């Protein structure tokens, strides 16, 4: 059924692209996997409104949320072949297409949220945005996705040894897999859309994600323990396919970049509010929230950083990020 849906969209998008060349209005199609109540989706809606206003209606955004066009990986593949214009994915998923991105998924890399903003908004972040262009994926900016922590069904994760024997869902990310292994757990890659059922049926014992995703996915209905170890500060990244980008005039590219910047500012405000609401609401629903000693977890994953010492591309990035003030 999913294959038919995507195939149908490919046919439709081809027809839509054919019409665009003849009309004054261009429409960019953006597919993503988040619920419409998520701060990132709301920021995208604002971006579309802003883009429409800036361009005087000549450049518009059409948004397909909630995995209507497939998983994050499938949307990336649609961008690569030019059948979808834009998408939002976690940086953790993008590392399969742009290897340098894996640096952002390293656990306990950032000192705090402001440190992550300084890196992403600065030269390192801009460098990484361009990393995917040789794979037909151009980065436009980063949305705040907070810190990722463990949530589980049967017991809280207070120390790394609590992960032993626990099957933990991770993204399709080699870095995430390596991290959970280093902490003693059993990493299990599962798509986001299949996770609720997988938790219910015991395919996995838990997962890791930020508070709004834990709340909006309703995973708190199954997992009653949320341990805020905040192991990774992994942003979302907004991408446009290079084919779609090259079809835009220089003026249209400027309109899009300006609208993206405004949506990122807006989303960061929404995100801070969403985090507070999520933690408050899951507690009301009976979730036990704990704040374990992060140093215990950070110590267990030091070997991951040591493993990159011989990597001439990643290790210098690690040092630059750590030295960013």
Tokens of 258: 């300006």
Q: Is 62 left (phi over 0), alpha (psi -120 to 50) or beta?
A: beta
pLDDT at position 95 is 87
Clarify whether residues 88 and 57 are in a common domain.
yes
pLDDT at 3 over 60: no
pLDDT at 82 over 50: yes
pLDDT at 110 over 70: yes
Clarify whether residues 21 and 55 are in a common domain.
yes
Clarify whether residues 69 and 173 are in a common domain.
no
Clarify whether residues 99 and 199 are in a common domain.
no
pLDDT at 6 over 90: no
Clarify whether residues 195 and 304 are in a common domain.
yes
Domain span including residue 185: 148-233+277-323
Closest among 321, 324, 307 to 128, alpha carbons compared: 321
Clarify whether residues 157 and 292 are in a common domain.
yes
Clarify whether residues 194 and 301 are in a common domain.
yes
pLDDT at position 20 is 45
Clarify whether residues 289 and 317 are in a common domain.
yes
Which sign, positive or negative, has the C-alpha torsion 34, 39, 42, 47? Answer: negative
pLDDT at position 18 is 41
Q: What are phi and psi of 4, to 5 degrees?
A: -65, -40
Within the chain, residue ranges assigned H as helices are: 2-20, 39-54, 72-80, 91-94, 113-120, 123-129, 174-182, 195-200, 211-216, 242-246, 250-284, 294-300, 302-306, 314-323
Q: What value does the mean pLDDT take over residues 148-158?
A: 98
Per-residue confidence at 9, pLDDT binned at 50, 70, 90?
Answer: low
Tokens of 254: 């400027």
Clarify whether residues 125 and 243 are in a common domain.
yes
Quote the CA–CA distance of 319 and 317 in Å, as a whole number.
5
Tokens of 286: 């009976």
Number of domains in the chain: 2
pLDDT at position 22 is 46
Report the CATH number that the domain containing residue 297 is assigned in CATH. 3.40.190.170
Quote the CA–CA distance of 177 and 194 in Å, as a whole number.
18
**Beta strands at 86-90 and 26-31: parallel, antiparallel or unpaired:** parallel
* pLDDT over 70, % of the chain: 93
Q: Per-residue pLDDT tens for 223-262? A: 999 999 999 999 999 999 999 999 999 999 999 999 999 9
C-beta atoms surrounding 295 within 10 Å: 9
List Cβ neighbours of 81 (8 Å cut-off, separation of 6 or more): none
Q: Per-residue pLDDT tens for 60-69? A: 999 999 999 9
Dihedral angle over CA of 242, 246, 247, 251, nearest 10: 120
Q: Are 87 and 6 in contact (CB under 8 A)?
A: no
Q: What value does the mean pLDDT take over residues 130-136?
A: 93
Clarify whether residues 254 and 116 are in a common domain.
yes
| Higher-pLDDT residue of 42, 1 | 42
Clarify whether residues 132 and 161 are in a common domain.
no
Clarify whether residues 121 and 21 are in a common domain.
yes
Quote the CA–CA distance of 96 and 172 in Å, as a whole number.
8
Quote the CA–CA distance of 92 and 80 in Å, as a whole number.
18
pLDDT averaged over the chain?
Answer: 92
pLDDT at position 288 is 98
């Amino acid at each position: 059924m999913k294959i038919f849906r995507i195939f149908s969209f490919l046919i439709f998008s081809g027809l839509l692209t054919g019409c665009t060349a003849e009309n004054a209005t261009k429409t960019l199609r953006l597919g993503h996997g988040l619920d419409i109540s998520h701060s990132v989706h709301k920021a995208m809606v604002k971006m579309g409104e802003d883009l429409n206003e800036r361009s005087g209606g000549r450049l518009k955004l059409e948004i397909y949320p909630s995995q209507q066009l497939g998983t994050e990986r499938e949307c990336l593949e649609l961008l690569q072949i030019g059948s979808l214009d834009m998408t939002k994915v976690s940086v953790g998923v993008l590392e399969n297409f742009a290897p340098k991105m894996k640096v952002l998924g390293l656990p306990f890399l950032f000192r705090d949220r402001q440190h992550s903003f300084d890196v992403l908004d600065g030269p390192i972040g801009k460098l990484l945005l361009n990393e995917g262009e040789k794979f037909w994926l151009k980065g436009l900016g980063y949305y705040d996705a907070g810190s990722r922590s463990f949530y589980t069904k049967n017991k809280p994760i207070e120390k790394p040894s609590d992960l032993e024997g626990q099957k933990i869902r991770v993204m399709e990310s080699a870095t995430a897999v390596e991290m959970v292994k280093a902490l003693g757990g059993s990493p299990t890659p599962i798509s986001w859309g299949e996770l609720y059922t997988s938790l219910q049926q015991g395919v996995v014992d838990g997962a890791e994600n930020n508070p709004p995703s834990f709340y909006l996915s309703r995973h708190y209905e199954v997992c009653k323990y949320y341990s805020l170890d905040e192991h990774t500060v992994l942003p979302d990244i907004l991408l446009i396919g290079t084919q779609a980008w090259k079809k835009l005039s220089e003026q249209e590219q400027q309109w899009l970049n300006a609208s993206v910047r405004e949506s990122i500012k807006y989303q960061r405000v929404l995100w801070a509010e969403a985090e507070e609401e999520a933690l408050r609401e899951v507690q009301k629903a009976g979730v036990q929230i704990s704040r374990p000693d992060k140093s215990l977890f950070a110590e267990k994953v030091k070997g991951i950083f040591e493993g990159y010492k011989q990597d001439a591309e990643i290790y210098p990035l690690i040092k630059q990020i750590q030295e960013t003030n």
